Amino acid sequence: MKILITVLMIIFFPFLISGMIRRVKSVWGGRKGPSLIQPFFDFSRLMKKSEVISRTVSPVFLIAPSASLAATICAAMLVPMAGKSAILSFNGDFIMFCYLLALGKFMLVVSAMDTGSSFEGMGSSREVTFSALAEPGFFIIMGSFAWISGCKSFESIFQAIYNSGPASGLLILLAIIGLFIMLLTEGGRLPVDDPETHLELTMIHEVMVLDNSGPDLGFILYGAALKVFLIASLIASLATPTGIGFVPGLIIFTAVVTAEAVFIGFLESVMARMRMTHIPQFVFMITALAIIIFFIVMMELGKAL
């Protein structure tokens, strides 16, 4: 039952998050906005379409979108969701998670390079640069949490961190902020990337998929939305208290993910996008927060020893 609910969430929540962000922005801009499940309709419309494939591409371009989505779905199985339980859990799964996402990204990057378009090359270079800056932060956070809790998987770390010591509240708060910046970076949201823009020269994520169409484009869009949902889920799981049972956990989880979507929509309404050269500083904040977490953990462990 738990697994079934988790699977349903993995299928539908990404569309809902996109829908909610769009709706918040529409309402802020004085418009009514599309339906919350419009992204799902878009996805099913794309599934029915045929594909236009450039004559210059190699088979890499053809398999990349499916491979990328497959990697992201595998990563989804490792993420603790409602009640802090994941479909799969094993020691070191957070490392697996990070590199599954990286594999998905790698597939998209090589397929973008495969088209030979200068735009897509530019987008790939930006994408890889910014996510490489986000990665160390994630590992320092997870590593510090693993150290203080003595556990080695997402599920167990997230359960143990809640009662890990006097500073656990502070640790969770810092980690949530760090993960939220990672969400904005990896999800391609403002102020890192502007998902609404039509200007190829400023794009990061969108410009990489200019040549994709039909079901492949649908996979990419769903994969990107799923990635946002996965990082949002990490935040929601961290925010959920340990040992409150599945149903209350599910309610809190849903509420937190919804709040995140609304907050992203709000941020995108009131913020301007950063200059490309300032983005690395912003992304590097994740690492800065992670290092603070690391020091707090060190101090706490030093006290216990």
Please report, as ranges, the residues that interact with another protein according to CB under 8 A: 25, 28-30, 118-119, 121-122, 190-191, 194, 196-202, 268-278
Least Å from the CB of residue 276 to another protein: 4
CB of 122 or CB of 292, closer to another protein: 122
CB of 28 or CB of 139, closer to another protein: 28
CB of 184 or CB of 256, closer to another protein: 184
- Least Cα distance to 276 among 207, 175, 177, 179 occurs for 207
Q: Which two tokens stand for residue 259?
A: 């709040």
Q: Identify the helix (H) or strand (E) that includes residue 71.
A: helix 59-78
Across the chain, how many H-helices and E-strands are there?
A: 11, 0
In the chain, what are the helix, strand and coil shares in percent, each to the nearest 5? Answer: 75, 0, 25
Q: Which amino acid is at 161?
A: I
Least Å from the CB of residue 69 to another protein: 25
CB of 121 or CB of 214, closer to another protein: 121
Gyration radius (Cα) of the chain, Å:
19
What residues have CB less than 8 Å from 52, skipping those under 6 apart? 213, 214
Least Å from the CB of residue 277 to another protein: 6
Among positive and negative, which fits the CA dihedral 54, 120, 132, 154?
negative
Rounded to the nearest 10 degrees, the angle between the axes of helix 154-161 and helix 168-186 is 140
Q: Are 237 and 158 in contact (CB under 8 A)?
A: yes
Q: Are 178 and 303 in contact (CB under 8 A)?
A: no
Least Å from the CB of residue 120 to another protein: 11
CB of 163 or CB of 281, closer to another protein: 281
Q: Are 51 and 204 in contact (CB under 8 A)?
A: no
Least Å from the CB of residue 160 to another protein: 39
CB of 202 or CB of 254, closer to another protein: 202
Least Å from the CB of residue 32 to another protein: 13
Least Å from the CB of residue 128 to another protein: 13
Give the span between the Cα atoms of 148 and 164, in whole angstroms: 7
CB of 4 or CB of 199, closer to another protein: 199
